[in-house]
């Protein structure tokens, strides 16, 4: 009898069909992987199992019994626990308070907390999940916070544990520790559902794997009977082009020089630590790294969104830091930027496509008529960009939110390239972008390189970096730990460097 | 001895002014700790002031008045919770709307029902108001100035609602820090998603918090119209709801510091009354308006981070959306 | 689906506010019924009182002038992502500026006094908005709370000034002396008489025209200039603003200065146009009505104009009502204002979702045909 069985789970969000009649089962005492691209419907499915969303149709069976799950309370009662990608912790509470929240054992706290402490110490020993119970959560490292989440689920008696993209914020080493922990849970008879879009994790730890694409299940296999390539093909629905067709780079003059750059966050913690590199015309330099290792901060600092605490950025003979040039001034010097998080930063959701097509360029003389904005010029500019980049539907008056992720990204790219920049900073160019648009965007980037632009590419998708970059800089814990020419780069080599093993410095 | 008497009387006045502030500020604490902005304190208090005075006048019982005040303020709280929690409306707007609505509704209903130009009848008969309680030996103690006067004026000689408000501070602290409800309340104002995924219903918790806030505002409003004065008059809260909010911020959303802020603000008020037109050595006459504006200025300075820092509950003002 | 239901533009801009108003009036009708009067008769009295004669129209538009100024003030701040609850205090202090010019320079010719009064009102109002704006921009102090506090501080300052400084010597009530006639805003019936149109004498004055001009300028600024573009980006998505090289703190300050200046212009109508002196609490809640006006007018100048006329009509009709129905007083108008804010601002989704569903069904049926 499977520990968890789903039958015909169906869910729509307005026009989006997030889950299409999903059925699968996970065996007791196994680690079951669910893999799919971003937006394949994995998280929706798991949120339905945990009672955060309600399925429009379908049945959930736990240990052979049909259960009605309409809230996390029901899920917990059915023995289901979930560790979310973004931790569900009250940051100014202690570990102990976080764990007992919702399972306090009585109206008065004191007794419940005492009893919980004893129980938790036992639980922690059993699974090797030691955490300081009286520490404030916000002061713990991410890996420990994740342990708190796992303990929270186990403390509530979870037999089925869902982990949603658990390694997104972990280094490969921390991830390996997590996998060991999962094996221990499996040995104790727990069922683990591991939701991820990373093939490495599936291969490393799961017993069986279910592949999702566009809301539906497209395959299920025993992990030992499959290969990463086969899984990848199932995920995207055809053979993946891991290598973008491109000729060798012909690097020219140095356009951007970064010297000893240090960036601190609001709490004063250094996120980028003394980074130096150069960027030449006609090359794509990729920055690889596990998410959260300073790439985002580096990119934003170069773009003028964050201020560095030390160091200098030189662009065409100008000292951007010393001269105090902001994002607007840098754009005018030919530094364009496609941000990592398009919806948070790259577009204004309430604006039409044409208004989004001038974001950051709204004060260019071309768009002014006296004191007023030249609406006709704005419209014409947007139409031009839409046709050049094949944005569909080509309707400038449509709100940007009505476009697919790929078309939004094409418009953002068009906007940034339209000003004929010398250097293009580009973060996660294909996040939330459909396959067809990915190819188009990749081709555009290579074309830009061949036109003599300098591109700095930040991506957490190692395959994307390997496929596009001419040189790869690897970041770990805020430092550039190695540089490798694309010809010499393999996934394994770069992966080792990402884990913080210093590279030998091919220049 | 003259100065001593003056100080004791000033402190006694402080306690009387602080009572409605404290009740409203603690009301605000429950609401804001759960993540719902407490801009409706003024309206809930005013509604209660009207309802309690009206019922006390008609029924002749201050206790029935108190009950009516609490019911009225809780009804407004329910409306507020419906707008803020269920409908996920803008919490600032909802609070302002309730304040405005009640500011008109009280006098309008008073005129229609009592025909006294927007007031309720004077509460004169015995039992219509909450009167000062004389503690044993208070009169006798008065003769022994030092501790006796203190006992007679500060400890004894207040009405029931004052003692209730005073007791509410340790009770609130206990509820907030020592009970399951308090733990969940503090959590839901910081990270409602954590509470939800831990299997506790967020909206239910917020409704409870806002309703508690309504009940306490009910007591505060009753105090204004049936204890501190004898009847409802137009706009009788006179900004006390906002002042209570300022005290809550000044007290950093914690019960004891909030109590301290209420006493401080009430003291400035009592002092302003006392200093009206009195020339002080060195500084001369301090305009009473400036003393009255002091709590607002202090709160602005605190919010600006010039005197300490005030960190609000993180999820305040943000409706909880289950499906993202 | 959790995102707010989308409505066609016409429904969003006209149908929904109309329904909001209807619900507010319906609830007010219930209150009037409870008071023992006929809601229907009350509505007729109010409509007649607001629009029934030249005189009533004049008064309605005179009240509307105040609400246009404060409504625009709230809306401008709103587009920058700020909730300005301090329009009341800004109007109060702005009026001080207007009044001071009129008191000191009242002997100068009107065409010199007017621009100076406009400037002073704007500067004083903007100045009062500047401190909360600066605190929000530079120190992160929540502008909702600070503007509330500044309303009270403004009231204290003005009371002190009127009681101790500006009071007309030998007078009991805290008011300044009357302005010199040169500093009176010309009444509209006087101006109309010059072009041969007769209109009853009402407090409606040139400030109404200034308010309309302000509405047009706000429209141009917010929707047709790069500054307005930047302001709205900062309001809608501060992260995108930073990315685009817009500085949200700077936008906060500029938007609040403009907002304060608009609120501060209320004195042009209320003091220069009607009272001809500075007196206690002359904004009379117009700053708060401005919130209702902006909400109902969807923060668009045209909508604000219509909503301001509506609230002007409520104010004027309400005083007529209290005159003719002894059991109903002017407080009823405040109740209706509160109800409109509640139904437009806090409970809008109640009507939005069913309305969206209804319209979708209707549209679906039309498609089938």
Given a cut of 80, whether residue A37 has pLDDT beyond it is no
Contact A16/C at CB under 8 A:
no
How large is the average pLDDT for residues C243-270?
96
How large is the average pLDDT for residues A103-118?
87
Domain count along chain A: 2
Contact A351/C at CB under 8 A:
yes
Given a cut of 80, whether residue A507 has pLDDT beyond it is no
Given a cut of 80, whether residue A433 has pLDDT beyond it is no
Assigned domain for C365 exists: no
Residue A503 is predicted with a pLDDT of 45
Contact B200/C at CB under 8 A:
no
Angle between helices A142-155 and A109-127 (to 10 degrees): 110
* CA gap A41, A20 in Å, rounded: 9
* CA gap C22, A50 in Å, rounded: 42
pLDDT digit string, tens, across residues C68-103: 999 999 999 999 999 999 999 999 999 999 999 999
Cα–Cα distances in angstroms (integers) from residue C36 to residues A36, A496, C29, in the given order: 67, 82, 11
Assigned domain for C360 exists: no
Domain end call among A236, A269, A302:
A236
Interface touch A373/C229, C-beta < 8 Å = yes
Contact C240/A at CB under 8 A:
yes
Assigned domain for C36 exists: no
Residue C59 is predicted with a pLDDT of 96
How large is the average pLDDT for residues C143-159?
94
* CA gap A154, C355 in Å, rounded: 45
How large is the average pLDDT for residues C13-29?
87
At residue A288, φ and ψ (nearest 5 deg) are -100, 155
My answer on whether A314 and A219 are in the same domain is: no
Chain B (82-111) residues lying within 8 Å, Cβ to Cβ, of chain C: 82-84, 87-94, 96-109, 111
Model confidence at B163, pLDDT cuts 50, 70, 90, reads very high
Residue C177: both structure tokens together = 């002396």
pLDDT digit string, tens, across residues A384-409: 999 999 898 899 999 998 888 888 99
Assigned domain for A444 exists: yes
Output C13 or A66, whichever has higher pLDDT. Answer: A66
Cα–Cα–Cα angle for A177, A135, A110, rounded to 5 degrees: 120
* CA gap B171, B29 in Å, rounded: 13
Residue A242 is predicted with a pLDDT of 52
* CATH number of domain containing A435: 3.40.50.300
Domain end call among A169, A203, A236:
A236
At residue A202, φ and ψ (nearest 5 deg) are -60, -50
pLDDT digit string, tens, across residues A355-367: 999 999 999 999 9
My answer on whether A107 and A231 are in the same domain is: yes
Residue A203 is predicted with a pLDDT of 86
Q: Which residue(s) pair with A277 in the sheet?
A: A258
Assigned domain for A507 exists: no
Residue A501 is predicted with a pLDDT of 59
Given a cut of 90, whether residue A148 has pLDDT beyond it is yes
My answer on whether A260 and A405 are in the same domain is: yes
* CATH number of domain containing C343: 1.10.3470
Mutation for testing the B interface, residue in A102, A109, A112, A138 having most B CBs under 10 Å:
A102
Q: Residue written as tokens 């137009």?
A: B234
Using only the alpha carbons of chain B, give its radius of gyration: 20
Average pLDDT score, chain B: 89
* CA gap C207, C266 in Å, rounded: 9
Residue B176 is predicted with a pLDDT of 96
Share of chain A above pLDDT 70, in %: 95
My answer on whether A231 and A262 are in the same domain is: no
* CA gap A169, A146 in Å, rounded: 10
Assigned domain for A452 exists: yes
CA dihedral of C28, C34, C38, C44, whole degrees rounded to 10: -20
Instruction: Count CA atoms within 13 Å of residue A112 on its CB side.
Output: 20
Assigned domain for C323 exists: yes
Model confidence at C266, pLDDT cuts 50, 70, 90, reads very high
Residue A240 is predicted with a pLDDT of 52
Model confidence at C128, pLDDT cuts 50, 70, 90, reads very high
Share of chain C above pLDDT 90, in %: 66
Model confidence at A80, pLDDT cuts 50, 70, 90, reads very high
Residue A506 is predicted with a pLDDT of 41
How large is the average pLDDT for residues A211-223?
89
Q: Which of A458-467, B85-94, C235-244 has the lowest mean pLDDT?
A: A458-467
**Alpha-carbon gap: B82 to the closest alpha carbon of chain C (Å):** 9
* CA gap C287, C290 in Å, rounded: 5
pLDDT digit string, tens, across residues C286-298: 999 999 899 889 9
Q: Please tell me which chains touch C, using 3 or more CB pairs under 8 Å as the contact test.
A: A, B
A28's CB contacts (< 8 A; 6+ apart) are A1, A2, A3, A63, A189, A191
**Alpha-carbon gap: A100 to the closest alpha carbon of chain B (Å):** 9
| Contact (Cβ atoms closer than 8 angstroms) between residue A468 and residue A436 | no
Q: A197, A206, A179: which is closest to A43 by C-alpha?
A: A197
My answer on whether A290 and A425 are in the same domain is: yes
Cα–Cα distances in angstroms (integers) from residue A489 to residues A502, B26, B41, in the given order: 14, 63, 64
pTM, rounded to two decimals: 0.87
Cα–Cα distances in angstroms (integers) from residue C264 to residues A84, A86, A135, C127, in the given order: 50, 46, 52, 9
How large is the average pLDDT for residues B227-255?
91
Residue A406 is predicted with a pLDDT of 84
Domain count along chain C: 1
Burial of C169 (0-12, 13-18, 19+ CB in 10 A): exposed
Assigned domain for C197 exists: yes
Highest mean pLDDT among A97-106, B311-320, C255-264 belongs to C255-264
- The helix, strand and coil proportions of chain A, stated in percent and rounded to the nearest 5, come to 35, 25, 35
Q: B289, B205, B188, B292: which is closest to B246 by C-alpha?
A: B292
DSSP 3-state of A103: coil
**Alpha-carbon gap: A306 to the closest alpha carbon of chain C (Å):** 9
* CA gap B219, B223 in Å, rounded: 6
pLDDT digit string, tens, across residues C296-315: 899 999 999 999 999 999 99
Output B203 or B282, whichever has higher pLDDT. Answer: B203
Nearest to C139 among B87, B293, B305 (CB): B305
Given a cut of 50, whether residue C2 has pLDDT beyond it is no
Residue C368 is predicted with a pLDDT of 44
First-last CA distance in chain C: 28
Residue A505 is predicted with a pLDDT of 42
How large is the average pLDDT for residues C163-184?
89
Enumerate domains of chain B plus CATH numbers.
Answer: 2-303 (1.10.3470)
Given a cut of 60, whether residue A221 has pLDDT beyond it is yes
Residue C27: both structure tokens together = 């609830």
Residue A500 is predicted with a pLDDT of 63
Q: Which residue(s) pair with A484 in the sheet?
A: A472
Q: Which of A230-239, B20-29, B72-81, B262-271 has the lowest mean pLDDT?
A: A230-239
pLDDT digit string, tens, across residues A123-141: 888 888 888 999 999 888 8
Phi-psi category of residue A51: left, alpha or beta, with phi > 0 → left and psi -120 to 50 → alpha: left
Contacts C139 to B, Cβ<8 Å: 303-305
DSSP one-letter code for A121? H
DSSP letters for B48-117: HHHHHHHHHHHHS-HHHHHHHHHHHHHHHHHHHHIIIIIS---HHHHHHHHHHHHHHHHHHHHHHHH-SS
Residue A112: both structure tokens together = 């419940």
Residue A236 is predicted with a pLDDT of 66
Contact B58/C at CB under 8 A:
no
pLDDT digit string, tens, across residues A256-313: 999 999 999 877 788 899 999 999 999 999 998 877 788 999 999 999 999 999 999 9
Task: For residue A373, give its domain range.
Answer: 254-498
* CA gap A44, A11 in Å, rounded: 8
Assigned domain for C10 exists: no
Nearest to A373 among C3, C225, C239 (CB): C225
Model confidence at A450, pLDDT cuts 50, 70, 90, reads very high
CB atoms within 10 A of CB A475: 25
My answer on whether A337 and A446 are in the same domain is: yes
Given a cut of 50, whether residue B255 has pLDDT beyond it is yes
pLDDT digit string, tens, across residues B3-45: 778 888 889 889 999 999 999 999 999 999 999 999 999 999 9
* CA gap A26, C183 in Å, rounded: 84
Assigned domain for C88 exists: yes
My answer on whether A10 and A40 are in the same domain is: yes
Assigned domain for C259 exists: yes
Q: A159-189: buried (b, 16+ CB within 10 Å) or exposed (e) per residue?
A: bbbbbbbbbbbbbbebbebbbebbeebbeee
DSSP one-letter code for A437? H
Interface touch C236/A351, C-beta < 8 Å = yes
The pairing of beta strand B279-280 with beta strand B284-285: antiparallel
Task: For residue C295, give its domain range.
Answer: 15-27+49-351
My answer on whether A195 and A276 are in the same domain is: no
DSSP one-letter code for B148? I
Domain end call among A168, A201, A236:
A236
Share of chain C above pLDDT 70, in %: 97
Highest mean pLDDT among C27-31, C37-41, C111-115 belongs to C111-115
Contact A72/C at CB under 8 A:
no
Model confidence at A241, pLDDT cuts 50, 70, 90, reads low
Residue C65 is predicted with a pLDDT of 97
The pairing of beta strand A208-213 with beta strand A31-35: parallel
pLDDT digit string, tens, across residues C318-369: 888 888 887 888 888 888 888 888 888 888 778 887 888 888 777 765 544 3
At residue A236, φ and ψ (nearest 5 deg) are -100, -10
Contacts B189 to A, Cβ<8 Å: none
Q: How many beta-carbon pairs below 8 A join chains A and B?
A: 79
DSSP letters for A345-400: II--TTSBHHHHTTTTTTTSGGGEETTEE-HHHHHHHHHHHHHHTT-SS--TTSBG
Assigned domain for A363 exists: yes
One-letter-per-residue 3-state SS of chain C:
CCCCCCCCHHHHHHHHHHHHHHHHHHHHHHHHHHCCCCHHHHHHHHHHHHHCCHHHHHHHHHHHHHHHHHHHHHHHHHHCCCCCCCHHHHHHHHHHHHHHHHHHHCCCCHHHHHHHHHHHHHHHHHHHHHHHHHHHHHHCCCHHHHHHHHHHHHHHHHHHHHHHHCCCCCCCCCECCCCCHHHCCCEHHHHHHHCCCCCCCCCCEHHHHHHHHHHHHHHHHHHHCHHHHHHHHHHHCHHHHHHCCCCHHHHHHHHHHHHHHHHHCHHHHHHHHHHCCCECCCCCCHHHHHHHHHHHCCCCHHHHHHHHHHHHHHHHHHHHHHHHCCCCCCHHHHHHHHHHHHHHHHCHHHHHHHHHHHHHHHHHHHHHC
Interface touch A348/C225, C-beta < 8 Å = no
Q: B51-65: buried (b, 16+ CB within 10 Å) or exposed (e) per residue?
A: bbbbbbbbeebbbbb
Phi-psi category of residue A192: left, alpha or beta, with phi > 0 → left and psi -120 to 50 → alpha: beta
């Amino acid at each position: 009898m499977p520990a968890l069985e789903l039958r015909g789970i169906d869910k729509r969000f307005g026009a989006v069909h997030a889950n299409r009649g999903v059925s699968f089962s996970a065996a007791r005492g196994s680690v079951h992987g669910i893999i799919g691209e971003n937006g394949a419907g994995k998280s929706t499915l798991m949120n339905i199992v945990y009672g955060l969303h309600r399925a429009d149709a379908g049945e959930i069976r736990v240990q052979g019994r049909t259960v009605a799950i309409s809230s996390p309370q029901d899920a917990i009662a059915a023995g289901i626990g979930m560790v979310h990608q973004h931790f569900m912790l009250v940051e100014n509470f202690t570990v102990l308070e976080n764990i007992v929240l919702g399972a306090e054992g009585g109206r008065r706290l004191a007794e419940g907390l005492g009893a919980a402490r004893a129980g938790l110490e036992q639980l922690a020993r059993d699974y090797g999940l030691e955490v300081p119970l009286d520490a404030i959560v916000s002061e713990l490292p991410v890996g420990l916070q994740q342990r708190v989440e796992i303990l929270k689920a186990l403390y509530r008696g979870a037999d089925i544990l869902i982990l949603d993209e658990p390694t997104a914020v972990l280094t490969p080493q921390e991830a390996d520790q997590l996998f060991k922990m999962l094996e221990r849970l499996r040995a104790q008879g727990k069922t683990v559902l591991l939701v991820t879009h990373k093939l490495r994790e599936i291969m490393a730890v799961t017993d069986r794997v279910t592949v999702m694409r566009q809301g539906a299940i497209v395959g299920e296999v025993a992990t030992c009977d499959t290969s990463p390539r086969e899984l990848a093909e199932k995920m995207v629905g055809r053979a993946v082009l891991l290598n973008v067709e491109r000729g060798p780079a012909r690097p020219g003059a140095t356009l951007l020089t970064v010297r000893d750059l240090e960036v601190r966050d609001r709490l004063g913690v250094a996120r980028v630590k003394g980074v130096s590199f150069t960027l030449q015309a006609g090359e794509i330099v990729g920055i690889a790294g596990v998410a959260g290792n300073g790439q985002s901060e580096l990119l934003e600092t170069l773009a003028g969104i964050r201020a560095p605490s030390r160091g200098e950025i030189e662009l065409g003979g100008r000292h951007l830091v010393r001269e105090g040039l902001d994002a607007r001034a840098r754009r005018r010097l030919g530094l364009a930027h496609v941000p990592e998080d398009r919806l948070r930063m790259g577009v204004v959701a309430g604006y039409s496509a044409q208004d989004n097509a001038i974001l950051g360029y709204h004060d260019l003389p071309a768009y002014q008529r006296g004191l007023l904005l030249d609406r006709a010029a704005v419209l014409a500019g947007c139409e031009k960009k839409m046709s050049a980049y094949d944005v569909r539907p080509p309707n400038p008056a449509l709100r940007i939110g009505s476009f697919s992720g790929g078309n939004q990204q094409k418009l953002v790219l068009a906007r940034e390239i339209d000003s004929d920049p010398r250097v293009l900073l580009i973060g996660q160019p294909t996040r939330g972008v459909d396959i067809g648009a990915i190819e188009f965007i990749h081709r555009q980037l290579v074309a830009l390189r061949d036109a003599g632009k300098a591109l700095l590419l930040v991506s957490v998708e190692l395959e994307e970096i390997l496929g596009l970059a001419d040189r790869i800089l690897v970041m770990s814990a805020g430092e550039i730990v190695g540089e490798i020419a694309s010809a010499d780069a393999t996934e394994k080599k770069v992966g080792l460097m990402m884990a913080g093993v210093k590279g030998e410095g091919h220049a | 001895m003259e100065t001593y008497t003056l100080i004791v009387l000033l402190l006694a006045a402080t306690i009387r002014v602080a009572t409605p502030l404290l009740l409203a500020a603690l009301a605000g604490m429950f609401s804001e700790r759960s993540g719902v902005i407490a801009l409706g304190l003024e309206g809930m208090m005013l509604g209660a002031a009207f309802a309690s005075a009206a019922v006390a006048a008609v029924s002749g019982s201050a206790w029935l008045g108190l009950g009516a005040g609490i019911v009225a303020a809780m009804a407004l709280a329910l409306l507020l919770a419906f707008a803020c929690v269920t409908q996920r409306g803008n919490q600032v707007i909802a609070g302002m709307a309730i304040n405005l609505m009640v500011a008109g509704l009280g006098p309008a209903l008073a005129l229609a029902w009592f025909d006294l130009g927007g007031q309720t009848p004077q509460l004169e008969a015995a039992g219509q108001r909450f009167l000062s309680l004389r503690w044993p030996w208070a009169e006798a103690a008065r003769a022994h100035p030092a501790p006796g006067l203190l006992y007679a004026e500060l400890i004894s000689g207040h009405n029931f609602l004052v003692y209730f408000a005073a007791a509410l501070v340790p009770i609130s602290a206990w509820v907030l820090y020592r009970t399951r409800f308090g733990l969940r309340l503090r959590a839901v104002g910081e990270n409602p998603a954590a509470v939800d995924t831990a299997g506790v219903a967020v909206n239910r918790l917020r409704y409870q918090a806002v309703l508690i806030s309504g009940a306490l505002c009910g007591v505060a409003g009753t105090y204004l119209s049936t204890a501190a004065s004898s009847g409802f008059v137009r706009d009788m809260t006179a900004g006390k709801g906002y002042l209570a909010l300022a005290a809550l911020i000044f007290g950093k959303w914690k019960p004891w510091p909030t109590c301290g802020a209420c006493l401080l603000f009430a003291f400035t008020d009592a002092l302003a009354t006392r200093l009206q037109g009195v020339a002080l050595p060195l500084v001369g006459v301090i305009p009473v308006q400036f003393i009255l504006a002091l709590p607002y200025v202090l709160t602005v300075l605190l919010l600006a981070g010039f005197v300490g820092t005030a960190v609000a509950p993180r999820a305040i003002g943000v409706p909880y959306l289950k499906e993202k | 689906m959790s995102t707010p239901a989308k409505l066609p533009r016409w429904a969003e801009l006209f149908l929904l506010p109309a329904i909001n108003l209807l619900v507010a009036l319906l609830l007010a009708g219930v209150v009037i019924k409870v008071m023992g009067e006929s809601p229907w008769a009350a509505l007729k009295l109010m409509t007649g009182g607001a629009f029934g004669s030249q005189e009533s129209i004049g008064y309605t538009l005179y009240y509307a002038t105040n609400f246009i100024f404060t409504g625009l003030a709230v809306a401008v701040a709103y587009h920058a992502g700020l909730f300005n609850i301090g329009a009341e205090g800004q109007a109060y202090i702005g009026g001080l500026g207007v009044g001071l010019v009129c008191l000191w320079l009242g002997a100068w010719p009107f065409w010199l006094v007017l621009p100076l009064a406009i400037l002073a009102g704007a500067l004083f109002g903007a100045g009062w908005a500047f401190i909360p704006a600066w605190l929000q921009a530079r120190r992160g102090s929540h502008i909702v709370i600070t503007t509330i506090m500044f309303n009270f501080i403004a009231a204290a300052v003005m009371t002190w000034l009127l009681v101790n400084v500006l009071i007309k010597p030998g007078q009991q009530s805290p008011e300044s002396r009357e302005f010199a006639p040169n500093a009176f805003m010309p009444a509209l019936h006087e101006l109309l008489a010059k072009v041969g149109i007769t209109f009853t004498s009402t407090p409606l004055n040139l400030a109404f025209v200034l308010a309309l001009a302000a509405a047009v300028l706000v429209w141009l600024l917010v929707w047709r200039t790069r500054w307005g573009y930047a302001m709205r980006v900062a309001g809608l998505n501060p992260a995108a603003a930073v990315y685009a090289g817009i500085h949200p703190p700077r936008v906060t300050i500029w938007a609040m200065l403009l907002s304060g200046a608009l609120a501060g212009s209320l004195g042009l109508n209320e003091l220069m146009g009607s009272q001809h002196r500075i007196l206690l609490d002359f904004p009379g809640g117009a700053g708060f009505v401005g919130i209702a006006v902006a909400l109902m007018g969807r923060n668009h100048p045209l909508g604000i104009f219509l909503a301001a006329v509506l609230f002007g009509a409520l104010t004027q009709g309400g005083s007529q009502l209290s005159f003719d129905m002894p059991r109903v007083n002017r407080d009823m108008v405040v109740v209706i204002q509160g109800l409109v804010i509640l139904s437009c601002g806090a409970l809008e989704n109640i009507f939005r979702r069913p309305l969206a569903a209804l319209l979708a069904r209707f549209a679906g049926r039309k498609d089938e045909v």
